[in-house]
């Protein structure tokens, strides 16, 4: 079965919808992604090896940048040039945006044959489908409201993982007294927003939904939101002076090496700990951000397939989609990546304690209706709103606004972006 090497389209983007694709090379697939850190690369290698067993050569198009913004810029340039990749790693509303342009292919045949509707949570299907049709294959579910704590630093600070905001502050204070950086953080907008997501969620799931998903102006400029920004200011006081521009995996390394006490980051951080040979419960501890246990903010990495007309190209994309959704692959990949499977029928036997907790938390939140798309990671609102929020959150985190001003600016910025 032929795999698409490149999907060539003539001229402007509009031609993408009508031009027959050319330029195929057998048994090759070109994939654009941003999985470039050590743990991410190890996880991606699982997919590469799975396809290699089927005789498929992987043509790599990595674009560094943990939030995926650089990758989406590179994708737009490729599409504008008439030469999109075969498959693209995408998040949330980016999938919907490309689908709305008519750019994505239809995966209904493979999805129906393999029963995806019955095993993929509805919250994920909201992004995997467009206008009722499958346009992307979900690789995983990442949850973002995690805290990763160095076990030795935790023990030195009292040994009890914090469950409330006050307990968290007390532990961060103790870590500072002990002479380490309490909070490892990278000063990039998406990282600032990841912490912000968790702090908003800690004010209650209903508040998170009103503010981040419903975009309720009254919630965005409310006493609760002022308190969120006050807490962001407090957290900023525990970050080292050299945090600006630091990549997230370097912040993870600070915790791994004992230079910092904790990191507030999605579960992809666990991949860095595992890559370094660290063991959950022994070397590090994973907890939900204090005040958020029972609720989960998520994103889901998916592979979207671009619209093609040649039958061999469609068959190639279906074969890759089928590989992504294979339960054996879903287990093997997510064990390495730190995330949990996008299918609900994958057993947890191969997962470590943090993985088992992640799967149990996801199932609990899915049942309770407390599974929320992450604003920071493009699953709560379209990109324009997300980017407007980034601007305000990062400005406030760096001292440009006091908390009350930031709440008003947030409400104004979100309204203007809709």
pLDDT in tens, 212-248: 999 999 999 999 999 999 999 999 999 999 999 999 9
In a domain, 60, yes or no: yes
The residue with tokens 């879903």 is: 330
Separation of alpha carbons 115 and 338, rounded Å: 25
- Are 213 and 307 within one domain? no
pLDDT at 154 over 60: yes
Strands 284-288 and 28-33: unpaired
Please report which confidence band the pLDDT of residue 65 belongs to, taking 50, 70 and 90 as the band edges: confident
- Report the pLDDT value the prediction gives residue 312, as an integer from 0 to 100: 66
In a domain, 387, yes or no: yes
For the chain, what percent of residues have pLDDT higher than 90? 75
Per DSSP, the residues of 1-13 read ----S-----SSG
- Report the pLDDT value the prediction gives residue 11, as an integer from 0 to 100: 34
- Domain final residue pick, 354, 374, 398: 354
Separation of alpha carbons 36 and 28, rounded Å: 20
What are 16-30's pLDDT values in tens digits? 333 333 344 455 778
Please report which confidence band the pLDDT of residue 162 belongs to, taking 50, 70 and 90 as the band edges: very high
Backbone dihedral angles phi then psi of residue 208, each to the nearest 5 degrees:
-60, -45
In a domain, 361, yes or no: no
- Are 199 and 150 within one domain? yes
- Are 84 and 119 within one domain? yes
pLDDT at 308 over 80: no
- Are 123 and 41 within one domain? yes
- Are 117 and 256 within one domain? no
In a domain, 186, yes or no: yes
User: What 3-state DSSP class applies to 273?
Assistant: helix
- Report the pLDDT value the prediction gives residue 27, as an integer from 0 to 100: 59
- Are 186 and 272 within one domain? yes
- Are 256 and 396 within one domain? yes
248, 250, 256, 260: CA torsion to nearest 10: -90
- Domain final residue pick, 354, 383, 400: 354
- Are 246 and 217 within one domain? yes
| Average model confidence (pLDDT) across the chain | 90
In a domain, 286, yes or no: yes
Please report which confidence band the pLDDT of residue 13 belongs to, taking 50, 70 and 90 as the band edges: very low
- Are 389 and 245 within one domain? yes
- Are 311 and 405 within one domain? no
pLDDT at 108 over 50: yes
What are 261-281's pLDDT values in tens digits? 999 999 999 989 999 999 999
In a domain, 249, yes or no: yes
- Are 224 and 326 within one domain? no
| Mean pLDDT confidence for 168-184 | 98
- Selection from 25, 407, 376 nearest residue 233 by Cα: 407
- Total structural domains within the chain: 2
Separation of alpha carbons 144 and 374, rounded Å: 7
In a domain, 4, yes or no: no
Q: Which domain, by its residues, includes 381?
A: 144-297+366-417
What are 113-153's pLDDT values in tens digits? 999 999 998 889 999 999 999 999 999 999 999 999 999 99
- Report the pLDDT value the prediction gives residue 2, as an integer from 0 to 100: 36
- Are 93 and 28 within one domain? yes
| Mean pLDDT confidence for 371-399 | 96
In a domain, 196, yes or no: yes
DSSP lists the bridge partners of residue 57 as 28
What are 82-103's pLDDT values in tens digits? 888 889 999 999 999 999 999 9
pLDDT at 165 over 80: yes
pTM here is: 0.85
pLDDT at 297 over 90: yes
* Residue 166's CATH number: 3.40.190.10
């Amino acid at each position: 079965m032929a795999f698409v090497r490149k999907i060539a389209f003539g001229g402007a983007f509009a031609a993408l919808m009508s031009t027959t694709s050319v330029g195929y090379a057998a048994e090759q697939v070109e994939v654009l992604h941003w999985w470039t850190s050590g743990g991410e690369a190890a996880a991606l290698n699982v997919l590469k090896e799975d396809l290699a067993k089927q005789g498929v050569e992987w043509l790599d198009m990595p674009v560094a940048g943990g939030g995926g913004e650089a990758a989406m810029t590179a994708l737009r340039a490729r599409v504008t040039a008439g030469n999109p990749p075969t498959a693209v790693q995408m998040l949330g509303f980016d999938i919907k945006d490309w689908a709305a342009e008519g750019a994505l292919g239809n995966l209904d045949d493979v999805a129906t044959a393999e029963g995806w509707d019955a095993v993929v949570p509805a919250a994920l299907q909201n992004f995997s489908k467009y206008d009722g049709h499958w346009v992307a294959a979900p690789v995983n579910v990442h949850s973002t409201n995690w805290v990763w704590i160095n076990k030795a630093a935790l023990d030195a600070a009292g040994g009890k993982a914090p469950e409330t905001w006050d307990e968290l502050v007390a532990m961060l204070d103790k870590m500072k007294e002990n002479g380490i950086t309490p909070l490892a953080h990278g000063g990039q907008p998406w990282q600032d927003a990841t912490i912000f997501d968790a702090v908003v969620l800690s004010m209650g799931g209903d508040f998170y939904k009103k503010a981040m998903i419903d975009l309720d102006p009254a919630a965005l400029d409310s006493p609760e939101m002022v308190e969120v920004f006050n807490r962001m200011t407090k957290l900023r006081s525990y970050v080292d002076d050299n945090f600006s521009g630091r990549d997230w995996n370097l912040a993870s390394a600070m915790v791994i090496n004992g230079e910092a006490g904790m990191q507030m980051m999605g579960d992809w951080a666990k991949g860095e700990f595992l890559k370094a040979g660290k063991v959950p419960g022994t070397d590090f501890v994973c907890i939900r951000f204090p005040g958020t246990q029972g609720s989960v903010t998520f994103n889901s990495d998916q592979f979207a397939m671009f619209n093609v007309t040649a039958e061999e190209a469609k068959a190639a994309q279906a074969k890759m989609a089928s590989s992504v959704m294979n339960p054996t692959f879903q287990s093997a990949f997510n064990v390495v990546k730190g995330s949990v499977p996008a299918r609900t029928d994958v057993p947890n036997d191969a997962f470590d304690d943090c993985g088992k907790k992640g799967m149990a938390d996801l199932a609990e939140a899915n049942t309770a209706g407390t599974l929320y798309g992450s604003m920071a990671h493009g699953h709560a609102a379209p990109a324009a709103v997300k980017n407007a929020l980034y601007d305000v959150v990062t400005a406030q985190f760096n001292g440009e606004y006091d908390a009350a001003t930031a709440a008003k600016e947030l409400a104004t910025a979100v309204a203007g972006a809709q």
